Amino acid sequence: MNKILYFVLLSLIFTTSLYFADSTMKPFVTIAPSGSYFEINGKPLILDGYNEQIVSSNLIGLWANTKFARALEFAGILNETPEQVDEYFKELHDNGVNVLRIFFEFAQDPSDFSLFENPLGTVNESVVEVWDQIFALAKKYDIYLLIEPYDPYDMVIPSTNWQASPFNVVNGGPLKSLSDGFLTNPVVIKDAEFRFKFMIDHWGDSSHILAWEVNNEIDLWYGSNNDPAIKSYIKTISDFIVNYEDKKFGHHHLITVSTGASTPSGVLADVVYDNNHLDFITTHLYPPDVANPTSTIEPALTASESVLYNLEHLNYSKPYFDSEWGPIGYPDLPLQFDSQYYHNICWAEFSSGAAGIGLRWIFRNSLPEEFLQTDKAFSEIVNAPGIDWLNFKPFPTATEIRVPVQFANLIIPFSCGDESARIIWLLKDTENTDIKNLDFSSINLTVSGFKTGNYVVQLWNTYTGKLIKTIELTTQNGNLSFDANLSNMNDIAIKIFSETQID
């Protein structure tokens, strides 16, 4: 009997020790139960953010206390202070922004001040100091970081960048060109592991890492017909990160990769979508009508189609979002046009089932206040009580919205959800001259496909983030019918959820 009590007590001590060990672990971002969104510490994390660079005008002030400060000031590059970067992060936070995607280094730099290594294996401590500050600000302002170890675009554009690269064989590196086996060369693989080990050792216990991105646009910069190499690289680096973090922390951060193809196809699709080494998928959105926009409507349609394509190929089994998009090479788009273009793509992607809005590459000298207004309104709407995002499944439901025939070609519906909840975004085709001839003040909508029960319908202003109207309805043969007023609005967001979901 004493032996039995002894072993019971020993078991309790062991279980309790595990509990307290686990309770001291910092929470990491994980995949929500639905498999379609993110969560942190049991709360949904709907993504809203941008791409940044460690030398951008918004972050350059972080270099003020590094050894390069005087040279950067002399060159006219360093004209901000750390305090101004703090204000920038605060502004992001105050407007609902919760994620930044940042390359670990900046490779377009003849003086090499922003390369992590040069030569390979020799660490630039100034880059480390900058990242110390980024992580401190991310924690202070509750912003999550998507971090990618390399900057392949700037390694080779212009070609003089490659001539100075520490990966170039003429500089003691292992490669004659970026397409000379970057994904398979054992020296490069060891360097990738070295970089991730360094990042994990310095900042890996942070709760404010959204994920590690093992490579940027992995299908573009490293040669053609590289699909087997891509698959092998993802597995090798992913396994290294998971094994190292699990040993160090007891759990690990999420892992992803990005593709330059907005809709991967062929063998690349097989490599990306059916890959248990990737926790979620991101692609980049640069088709012609997005990269060189002449309309604010067509890019939204293209963005929606891309989201639907990716989720369908994932069989809605993992989160998906677009981690880079924008008007490549067009920094001088009229601000009013660019702001509407930004607004429309954000809402088109999210209401089509993405895990948040796409992460815009700003392509402007600074982040416009108008963009932040869209971010703030978006954050207010999605974070208001109602839809249970942790369990929400964003199946395509735009075809289940019926609009009166006279508006059929003038109101474009975007929608996702399941039989108990929906997010709907209705966009007026403001570029169609026929809208001048119609009264949009009372549009009767019918939305089908619901379980029998009582529902709350909320109509939201996507520019102010304000609730316009709440309607309580009971399904009729699985349908909900209600009126929407778009007379003075370009678009409207609608949240529908069962009364049982109300917090």
The DSSP secondary structure of 310-358, one letter per residue, reads: HHHHTTT-S-EEEEEE--TT-TT--HHHHHHHHHHHHHHHHTTT-SB--
Rounded CA-CA distance 184/75 in Å is: 38
For residue 45, give the 3-state DSSP assignment.
strand
By mean pLDDT, which of 151-160, 422-431, 433-442 is the weakest?
433-442
Q: What is the pLDDT of residue 9?
A: 42
Q: Give the model's confidence band at 328: pLDDT under 50 very low, under 70 low, under 90 confident, else very high.
A: very high
CA atoms within 13 A on the CB side of 472: 4
One fold for 20-383 and 395-501: no
Q: Under CATH, which number does the domain 395-501 receive?
A: 2.60.40
Q: Is residue 397 a contact partner of residue 413, using CB atoms and an 8 Å limit?
A: no
Q: What is the pLDDT of residue 14?
A: 40
Rounded CA-CA distance 205/207 in Å is: 7
Domain ranges of the chain: 20-383, 395-501
Question: Could you give the angle at the alpha carbon of 87 between the alpha carbons of 82 and 91, nearest 5°?
Answer: 145
β-sheet with 281-285: strand ranges across? 258-259, 281-285, 320-325
Q: What is the pLDDT of residue 110?
A: 66
- Mean per-residue pLDDT, 298-320: 98
For residue 170, give the 3-state DSSP assignment.
helix
258 - beta bridge partners? 282
Rounded CA-CA distance 503/72 in Å is: 52
Per-residue model confidence as pLDDT tens digits over 49-85: 999 999 999 999 999 999 999 999 988 999 899 999 9
Q: Give the model's confidence band at 109: pLDDT under 50 very low, under 70 low, under 90 confident, else very high.
A: confident
Phi, psi for 294 (deg, rounded to 5): -120, 0
Rounded CA-CA distance 215/152 in Å is: 9
- Mean per-residue pLDDT, 213-225: 96
For residue 101, give the 3-state DSSP assignment.
strand
pLDDT-above-70 percentage for the chain? 95
pLDDT-above-90 percentage for the chain? 88
Phi, psi for 450 (deg, rounded to 5): -100, 150
Question: Which ranges constitute the DSSP H helices of 24-95?
Answer: 69-74, 82-94
Q: What is the pTM of this model?
A: 0.93
Per-residue model confidence as pLDDT tens digits over 386-397: 999 999 999 999
- Mean per-residue pLDDT, 408-416: 95
Q: What is the pLDDT of residue 8?
A: 38
Q: Is the confidence at residue 270, as pLDDT, over 60?
A: yes
Label residues 350-378 b or e (16+ Cβ within 10 Å = b): bbbbbbbbbbbbbbbeebeebbbbbbbbb
For residue 389, give the 3-state DSSP assignment.
coil
Rounded CA-CA distance 290/310 in Å is: 17
The DSSP secondary structure of 355-370, one letter per residue, reads: SB---B---SSS--HH
Q: What is the pLDDT of residue 24?
A: 72
β-sheet with 443-447: strand ranges across? 401-402, 443-447, 480-484
Asked whether the bond before 158 is cis by omega within 30 degrees of 0, the reply is yes
Q: What is the pLDDT of residue 74?
A: 86
Residue type, 285: L
- Mean per-residue pLDDT, 399-404: 97
Q: What is the pLDDT of residue 467?
A: 98
| CATH level 3 topology of 20-383 | TIM Barrel (3.20.20)
Q: Is the confidence at residue 17, as pLDDT, over 50?
A: no
Q: Is the confidence at residue 217, as pLDDT, over 50?
A: yes
Q: Is the confidence at residue 6, as pLDDT, over 70?
A: no
User: Hey, what are 358's tokens?
Assistant: 């796409």
Look at 76 and 400; give whichever has higher pLDDT: 400
Q: Give the model's confidence band at 501: pLDDT under 50 very low, under 70 low, under 90 confident, else very high.
A: low
- Mean per-residue pLDDT, 248-253: 98
For residue 449, give the 3-state DSSP assignment.
coil
